[in-house]
Chain A
Amino acid sequence: MSIEKLGMPKWGLSMTEGRVIEWLVEEGADLDIGTEVAEVETEKINGAVESPAAGVLRRRVAAEGDVIPVGGLLGVIADASVSDADIDAFVADFQASFVPAEAEEEAGPAPETVTVDGTTLRFLKTGEGGEPLVLLHGFGGDLNNWLFNVEALSGDRAVYSLDLPGHGGSSKDVGDGDLAALCGALRGFLDSQGIDKVHLVGHSMGGLVAATVALEDPARVASLTLVDSAGLGEQIDRDYIEGFVAAEGRRDLKPVLQRLFADERLVTRQMVDDVLKYKRLDGVQPALRSLADHLFADGHQQHRVGDALGSFSGPVLVVWGEQDQVIPVAHAEAAPAGAETKVLPGAGHSPHMEAAGEFNRVIEGFLAGAHAG
């Protein structure tokens, strides 16, 4: 077998380096594809590095505490039969030739904007061709929430991460603040990009938007993936919604954001800062207030599409973090008959961030099946 590099991953547009917090496996351990090997801290978020190959972790090159540039060598994976001398040579060769990318070169695709019916929408397009995929964030989120997913999902198709109105870099005007305004923006966006047939993936509030558009315009939606989605039950954590809307400073916001994850250590100072910067923008506060009042008044979801979804003929995938504190995992049971359901252990409300590797494989597998079907 060949010798495989275990490299520092790139999570999100701005990541240039990461710090190894902890090795999760010993040298000599057997790895499968997707085994979590090390925990890494970046400016934005902490995450687990997964093995890209099956084999033995022959060498831990980076020590705990080391800061390694994106693409730099964390460790070496190879079969047990490969000699230590060959491993040494591989490490020496790599270190001699590796040049960390400059921040500018590494910037990759940048977000763009398009104006639809007077509403500016920001989006990030990664990958080309195939049947396109559109990713829709949840309440208070933005396109950066998909930082662990866009690269993995855009291998053989165009992936558009969209900022819904009131969010991220899109217009902060949410019209009457109800679901129709968000769905209208999504349809307008698809028109603007000339997308006739789309795979929709929506998280939380974005799931409700995706499902509603799938019901209104079924011919256009090739498949529907609902992630810890709104719209499948009545309950939603009022403290999360109201806490998010009300938070003005770091001290108020951090405990609210921690409710999004099973492991609250994932919430870094930078993540809190980024959300605060968004919340301070003119127009955001009334937009969030209005959306919360229309969609989630007093901790009750106002729109439910679970029953109606039975009539949607395309493939449906429902994914949930087992430890979701915002929308109960029990709502996954309201998925329509015939839907594929996947509950991810060790993840909270945001499994696309917290269990990103497994999440990406589940989505890839589902999309492959959706094409075959």
Chain B
Amino acid sequence: MARRITYQQAINEALAQEMERDPTVVVFGEDVRGGAGAPGEDDAWGGVLGVTKGLSPKFPDRVIDTPISESAYIGAAAGAAASGLRPVAELMFVDFLGVCLDQIFNQAAKFRYMFGGKAVTPMVIRAMYGAGIRAASQHSQALYPIFTHIPGLKVVAPSNPYDAKGLLIQSIRDDDPVIFLEHKVLYTVEGDVPEEAYAIPFGEANIVREGSDVTVVALGRMVPFAEQAAEELQREDGISCEVIDLRTTSPLDLETLLESVENTGRLVVVDESSPRCGLASDIVARVAQDAFGDLKAAPQMVTPPHTPVPFSPTLEDAYVPSPEKIAAAVREAAGAATAGAR
């Protein structure tokens, strides 16, 4: 039965239920246990924001604190996955990708292909991403396009507690390396989540709001922003938005996007990552190529500017796409259509 829990609790519950079900699931990373082996309280931390708290008392041998050496423990996760375990390694901030990129893109992502399909690599890398908590440019990036660019990785970014639990369970059961990105601003968001375990298949976008005038595509924290904009546009402008949550950027559910654009003829993509070679430009390009004849107006992209995430709170707030910017882009798309029709 469903009850309301937070995004953070949903992630913790998915880990606990999968560890209970499958003894090969192991969790490791910096401070995921916290305090272990040092004077002080065991399970004191449970990850830097407490997401894995409570797992180590339940599974004392399978929740492991690592040294501050991402290249070592992400590499260890790739090896453990190739040799029979299902590791869930926590990279803490996704911004630390730089120190362990070889282990991810040149090792884990390629095992299936370089070993003739005979090796499976069921590893999950969990990491926090995104701006909004005044954590400055080295702890605030939305790096999903980098992973999406690499064949052999699956890339997941849930927007709500229900999806966080179901997509993380699917990530753990999946036989390929999965990058599971958690938006830190969403950790405290509550939603209805079933107590039982369930898996949401990858590559199935969620239509969170049906509409007929403009298709708005979003991911992660941008989904609630897009819903907020859609509500305002319906109320104030009578513009009906169809809001689509991608859930996964790799695989990409292009079919749902094309079906929606076929109905609306107008596309707005909201993307928290940097604008160049990014998710928004990728989606706009794919839709323009496959559904050019359906488009009634130029697609719009709502992204941050091409700069690092600023530390100044004022500038950080201005940097992130907002419901207001999304609404403006939708009006632009819809207005262009009206002009064209004249």
Contact residues of A with B, CB < 8 Å? 111, 113, 122, 169, 172, 248-251, 269, 277, 280-283
Contact = CB atoms under 8 A, between A and B. Distances in A.
B236 interface: no
A17 B129 CA distance: 36
Given A113-B1, A250-B204, 20 more contacts: A169-B1, A172-B196, A248-B201, A248-B204, A249-B201, A250-B207, A251-B256, A269-B207, A269-B210, A277-B162, A277-B194, A280-B166, A280-B198, A280-B200, A281-B194, A281-B196, A281-B198, A282-B196, A282-B198, A282-B199
A282 B197 contact: yes
B201 A277 contact: no
Contacts of B1: 111, 113, 122, 169
Contacts of A122: 1
A122 B200 CA distance: 24
A154 B1 CA distance: 24
A269 B207 CA distance: 8
Contacts of B199: 280, 282
Interface of B: 1, 162, 166, 194, 196-201, 204, 207, 210, 255-256
Nearest to B253: A249
Contacts of B210: 269
Nearest to A273: B206
Contacts of A111: 1
A249 B194 contact: no
Contacts of B255: 251
B203 to A, nearest CB: 9
19 contacts: A113-B1, A122-B1, A169-B1, A248-B201, A249-B201, A250-B207, A251-B255, A251-B256, A269-B207, A277-B194, A277-B198, A280-B166, A280-B199, A281-B194, A281-B196, A281-B197, A282-B197, A282-B198, A282-B199
Contacts of A269: 207, 210
Most buried by B among A172, A277, A280, A283: A280
Contacts of B198: 277, 280-282
A169 B194 CA distance: 9
B323 to A, nearest CB: 21
A283 B200 CA distance: 14
A248 B202 CA distance: 11
A273 to B, nearest CB: 8
A171 to B, nearest CB: 10
Most buried by B among A169, A172, A249, A269: A249
Contacts of B194: 277, 281
Most buried by A among B166, B196, B197, B200: B196
A361 to B, nearest CB: 32
A249 B204 contact: yes
Nearest to B170: A280
B13 to A, nearest CB: 13
A321 B166 CA distance: 37
A286 to B, nearest CB: 14
B168 to A, nearest CB: 13
A101 B197 CA distance: 34
A169 B1 CA distance: 5
Nearest to A168: B1
Nearest to B209: A269
Which 3 residue pairs spanning A and B have beta carbons closest together?
Answer: A280-B198, A169-B1, A282-B197
Nearest to B1: A169
Contacts of A169: 1
Contacts of A248: 201, 204
Contacts of B256: 251
Contacts of B162: 277
A122 B255 CA distance: 37
Contacts of A280: 166, 198-200
Contacts of A282: 196-199
Nearest to A248: B201
Contacts of A172: 196
Nearest to A282: B197
A284 to B, nearest CB: 8
B199 to A, nearest CB: 6
B158 to A, nearest CB: 14
Contacts of A113: 1
B164 to A, nearest CB: 14
A250 B255 CA distance: 12
B190 to A, nearest CB: 14
Nearest to B197: A282
A283 B195 CA distance: 13
A248 B1 CA distance: 21
A247 to B, nearest CB: 11
A280 B204 CA distance: 13
A160 B197 CA distance: 27
Contacts of B204: 248-250
A79 to B, nearest CB: 38
A169 B192 CA distance: 14
A281 B256 CA distance: 23
A113 B204 CA distance: 32
B95 to A, nearest CB: 32
Nearest to A169: B1
Contacts of A251: 255-256
